[in-house]
Amino acid sequence: MFKKWMLVSWSVFALAGCLTDETPEETPAQAEPVVCSGPKCDGLSDKFRDAFDDMKNVDLGDLTVLGAGLADDALNDQLQDIPYSNIQLSNTALYGTGRTLLGQTVIHELSELRAGLTERFGESALASHVVGLRQAQSAERDVLWAESHFQIGPALRPNWGIDAGDGVVGNVGFDASAAIETVVIAPYDDANDALVDNPLEALRAARGWVLPRSLADVQSMAPGESLSMRANGALGLNLGVGVPFLLGTIADAVVLNARLSLGARVGLSGKLDVQLIRGESDIAWVDVGLDEQAIRAFSVALTSGWGVAGLPAANLDLGIKDLNVTKIAEKALQKQLNTHLNASLSATTSSSSQRLTVARFRFNTQTATPEVEQALAQAMRGDIRLAQALSIRPGSGVVQELDFTKDSRSESNYVGFRFLGMEFYRANGYNTGTIHIEADGDNQTILFSELEEKSGLFFTDRAWEYRNLVSIKSTGGQVTEALVNARITLREGDSFLERDQMLDHVDPFLGYVVGFDPIWSGVGAEADALAHYVDNYCPRPNNSTITDRDYRECLAGLPENADVLAERANVERAAEAALAGPLAQGFSDANSAREIAQELLNFKVESSFRNDRPDVAFFGPKGKMVTQIRLSHDAMHEMMTIGKHQEFRARLEEVLRLMAVERVADAERRQDKADDFIERRSGRLDELAQIYALATVEWADLEDIAAVSLNNQTVGNEGHMVLVDTRNRNAIDVASVAEYKGRVVERMIPALIDKAESGILYDLDEPEGFVIAYALLWLVDPSGVEVMANYMFDQDEDNAFPDLTVYGRGSAKMIDAGQFDLEQIIGAR
């Protein structure tokens, strides 16, 4: 339970303290009233300390004094004079408004490229947007775009690095000995200029430079023009800029004890890339990324400077507990950094090889101050700290659109350094929508984990799968929404499906739609009677009067037998009564419940009408039955309400009666067998309910934390917490409230199944996971779920059942991936 944790919560982060024996230091006076509302604020301490610094007033002189610029004339001269063939890495690619030939070279169509990028990444993705700018420029100015890919070797002495100055981050930018891979995409008035031996010389002749030397050069670039550079190097950045952290302790209730600012100075090394893109109007973007990331330097900011505020105190004396802020900050920020770089990274070892977009900034070039120009230049040289500091100051002219600690899904994460290039996309045929992208200030992070268990023997293949899914959306680097969903998939395939085996899926699904009683005592009793009648109508072959041929002829005549048809009519009337009764309400399509019930009832009637050949092994249709349940954010909250464990136990009993009890013709005998089955397991069912109850208490703790409001800011499901287990003060976890909620259910599911497997359902033919899954479905209203049953049979067999697919979805919002296929994104089968 979370009542065993020390918790901290805030709209972006929440931080928990741990005990320390060190002497407390004085803390800054409380700067402003702190108003805490919500269930977790009842114990707000009189000693609450407000020591938060929003970092908007941190002196930036130590960063602006670095004085880094863009390219210089010397480098531009060398690029003009050197034979292009000496540095060219690939042939220049040409793009225009129509697909034509220039000599032997194809001029590719920009509109086709843009359509493919939009379909794959979305209209708002930066790559799609920039190609749209290039397409507009070609149409308006009749220009041709050329993509030149070349290398700036160390012999040219590009000097694309700086000393970060603080003794922690060290030198940043490209290594002095590195060869810089460079891509320039620019417009040309004359197509031949883009194809001659030196397109860079043509570019220099047209405007006086190849690589921009100042903000004025950036302003003169055409909308859609870009410069991308990559080489081994290092990046300097700050963590925790402008983010409030709340410290608190918990015994029986959360006590919020302090609000303060935490920050860390970080140096990352790897294959660094910096990309400058000219946008429309007065916009310019700088995107910074890393391949093969490794943590080179990490230091908690104990004092203010270099764009980050220092710790207000090493310890906070809060009367009840002494919180060692330094240790908390180090563990929490390291955990945050490691989590977003790579799950296997530590703060001192290991590395990741996947390209990571660390940050993207949007600069206003028209109103830019010298500080803003300096921030752009330093970001291009691998130091983004000044841009970070300016981005939290309203009206500075710098906006941070992507932040790797908040956003992870970006087109550049998938296609790497050349995500702005055009030739890469064209050559690789990226023209289908399989990856969800939200860029230009909006981004979605989709997190998922999966549990799966398989079983089966001989011809049977069974599996249950539970997938936990969390979606975190952000705008302009600020988290705006967090949702948690779950998906349960049940699969059963067999070369010889028995009637009971199939009805163990049909009956609980039917019960969800039409209710337990009609399936147990109404149509269920009639169907069992019909099945018993059909299975025993034909005398078994013996060695005297009844031959095997006689038996098979009797079986073949059953579908036309008047007595059997009369029994079937009883089942059909019971099915009609079930259909006429109250059905589950809440599906978006008002007809969904009726259509689902009708199809499943038809299947139940048909299965009971067919002889199950109990005397013959390996008889039955070959097929696969799949049931899928998606639980929305609303459904998850309904399912985890305090007290829901009692309903879970009741629903579990009903599902067990439908699935586990032998189907026999005598309704009274069946009732007695079911009562005995449940009674013998009563204590174990209580244990399952207790597991469920404990999980709902954990969930309720998280609900209370999400409801906390401080100074009119609510934590919400998007709020993140740093948790310190009081039993192990070195154990720190960092995640959003939504992620923690998902983990509660993710732990509960296998705990329930393990307990069931330990003896509760030991004689159940179906996997215990199937029973648990259907019981969970029965707990939630159709408005919050998406359900599907897909039964497929080998139609080449004589005894094949017709395929069946039913579907229903409620009105509650589900996690999706915009215009793209979520299942393809997360690799669903």
Q: State how far the Cα of 716 lies from the Cα of 655, in Å rounded to an integer.
A: 35
Which one of 32-36, 44-48, 77-81, 229-233 scores highest in mean pLDDT? 229-233
When the pLDDT of each residue in the chain is averaged and rounded to a whole number, the result is: 78
Using CA atoms, how far residue 520 sits from 394, 499, 515, 664, 674, in Å, is 65, 16, 9, 12, 11
Q: State how far the Cα of 162 lies from the Cα of 166, in Å rounded to an integer.
A: 12
Sorting pLDDT into bands at 50, 70 and 90, what band is 26?
A: very low
pLDDT of residue 350: 36
Residue 427 pLDDT exceeds 80: no
pLDDT of residue 438: 45
**Contact yes or no for 114/97 (Cβ under 8 A):** no
Residue 330 pLDDT exceeds 90: no
For residue 229 the two structure tokens come to 């550079």
Q: State how far the Cα of 163 lies from the Cα of 166, in Å rounded to an integer.
A: 8
Beta strands in 301-407 (DSSP E): 315-317, 322-324, 356-364, 398-403
What angle do the packed helices 499-514 and 592-609 form, to 10 degrees? 150
For residue 732 the two structure tokens come to 């720190």
Sorting pLDDT into bands at 50, 70 and 90, what band is 560?
A: confident
Residue type present at position 330: E
Mean pLDDT confidence for 437-450: 52
What secondary structure letter does DSSP report for 10?
Answer: -
Helix count and strand count (H, E) for the chain: 25, 30
Place of tokens 């998906």: 487
Q: How many residues does the chain have?
A: 829
* Helix (H/G/I), strand (E/B), else coil: 375: helix
Share of the chain above pLDDT 70, in %: 72
Backbone torsions φ then ψ of 282, nearest 5 degrees: -105, 20
Residue 723 pLDDT exceeds 70: no
Q: State how far the Cα of 527 lies from the Cα of 550, in Å rounded to an integer.
A: 26
For residue 217 the two structure tokens come to 């050069």
Sorting pLDDT into bands at 50, 70 and 90, what band is 455?
A: very low
Q: Among 5-9, 149-153, 485-489, whose mean pLDDT is lowest?
A: 5-9
Q: State how far the Cα of 674 lies from the Cα of 681, in Å rounded to an integer.
A: 11
For residue 792 the two structure tokens come to 């497929």
**Contact yes or no for 625/505 (Cβ under 8 A):** yes
Q: State how far the Cα of 582 lies from the Cα of 593, in Å rounded to an integer.
A: 10
**Contact yes or no for 285/360 (Cβ under 8 A):** yes
The shares of helix, strand and coil residues in the chain, as percent rounded to the nearest 5, are 40, 30, 35
Based on C-alpha coordinates, what's the Rg of the chain?
Answer: 33
Alpha helices in 28-72 (DSSP H): 61-64
pLDDT of residue 51: 74
**Contact yes or no for 593/601 (Cβ under 8 A):** no
Sorting pLDDT into bands at 50, 70 and 90, what band is 343?
A: very low
Q: Give the per-residue SS3 of 766-795.
A: CCHHHHHHHHHHCCCCHHHEEEEEEEEECC
**Contact yes or no for 150/211 (Cβ under 8 A):** no
Place of tokens 């960092």: 734
Q: Which residue has the higher pLDDT, 248 or 752?
A: 752
**Contact yes or no for 143/137 (Cβ under 8 A):** yes
